[in-house]
Chain A
């Protein structure tokens, strides 16, 4: 394991522990009580999912410009982790919604957008599994990854029109938004912990893919 990975692992572990400690220390939210604490997982995970898909789109573009396989490996790794994170969003969301809204699911802006994102990137991964040749796979997935990424803001806009049951962003979401300092600190620790974990997973998956590619090269060279 490289030094960078060790540092990332340590930071990710520390971040997760800090998040758990904070979750047990901060007071219960006045209106929703204990269940509101899922917020500190739900929001950071959603943020990282968007980040991950951005990384996939960007690296797809870099691949098309350079034809360097390393960008394709990062794009693929990021999409895989992004799908895991968006799945977590889709799991933590309903767990929170049931006690508060009385239902697991409603077709509103953020829920629909998250679900479509999940479908978009699952399709991207299915495409990758369906192409054997490495260069062809990189090329096709870069194109599809870019188009999917362009689609994300439009998906959001298409679902914005109807009234939303999901709360507006609590931080930076307008005049009455904002969190008490201890709540904000917990949220930031959550974002930190989940982002560092994403970075660690991305590096590990990327290194694994590089080794896979080298083994394939050796295999082909041997004939």
Chain B
């Protein structure tokens, strides 16, 4: 068990060190996140719509698209530096490798999201009523599930002829129910009239996370070693 967590820590430390030197995942997520927000501002004029109608979708679409690019960057960096073959030949537990990679992706994603969120809060005048604890619960659950599935699909995509292009094709259909849950949940949080029905969306997102984190944990080795 001890060696399990050492592997998790080693993978996390390796990714953080590589990211500290290049900062390319971070820049990708933040830049693309902000640009997606702009696209949505033009698509749905916020002056003519309720905040609860525009902001949740804008926020999550921006996280999703920026996150896919970040996941791709993270996975292709492993292949480029040929770290993958070192990892595959090591006797390390495959589940630990998955957990380490998921944690590092999660870390980069959360930092990127925080910056995009500050910008969105500024542009759309969000305050404590919107950024309530329930909102952050949804944010954590949505990001966790997305990164949990995304980490394994980004690696699958690296092994196909289409490479990075494959990630959204595989990931988006699978992530749709989670996306639905967090967007609907966020809409309820933003709606001033009350939090009816929020619990079922949070439950759905949490259930999704549990199922797919376990699946990723068990299946990552098969993808790694094909």
Contact = CB atoms under 8 A, between A and B. Distances in A.
B211 A154 contact: yes
Contacts of B15: none
Contact of B204 (A130, A131, A142, A158): A158
A140 B160 contact: yes
Nearest to B179: A158
Nearest to A119: B173
B25 interface: no
Contact of B170 (A136, A144, A158): A144
Given A64-B222, A154-B204, A158-B204, A148 B174 contact: yes
B219 A131 contact: no
A123 interface: yes
Interface string B186-213: 0000000000010011001001100110
B182 to A, nearest CB: 10
Interface string B157-173: 00111100010011011
A132 B204 CA distance: 37
Contacts of B197: 161
Nearest to B160: A130
B177 A147 contact: no
Interface string A108-146: 000000001001100100110011100110011011101
Given A123-B170, A127-B170, A155 B212 contact: no
B75 interface: no
Contacts of B153: 144
Contacts of A131: 159-161
Given A123-B169, A123-B170, A126-B169, A154 B208 contact: yes
Interface string A147-167: 110110011011101000000
Given A120-B174, A126-B169, A154 B226 contact: no
Given A135-B226, A158-B204, A116 B173 contact: yes
Contacts of A119: 172-173, 176
Q: How large is the interface on A (under 10, 10 to 19, 20 to 34, 35 or more residues)?
A: 20 to 34
Interface string B52-92: 00000000000000000000000000000000000000000
A147 B161 contact: no
Contacts of A140: 156, 159-160, 223, 226
A8 to B, nearest CB: 32
A157 B203 CA distance: 11
B226 A147 contact: no
Given A123-B170, A136-B159, A143 B222 contact: yes
B51 interface: no
Contact of A150 (B173, B180, B215): B215
B140 to A, nearest CB: 18
A155 B215 contact: no
The 5 closest A-B pairs by CB, nearest first: A158-B177, A139-B226, A130-B160, A119-B173, A120-B173
Interface of B: 149, 152-153, 156, 159-162, 166, 169-170, 172-174, 176-178, 180-181, 184, 197, 200-201, 204, 207-208, 211-212, 215, 219, 222-223, 226
20 contacts: A116-B176, A119-B173, A119-B176, A120-B173, A123-B170, A130-B161, A131-B161, A140-B226, A142-B222, A143-B156, A147-B212, A148-B174, A151-B173, A154-B178, A154-B208, A157-B177, A157-B204, A158-B178, A158-B181, A161-B197
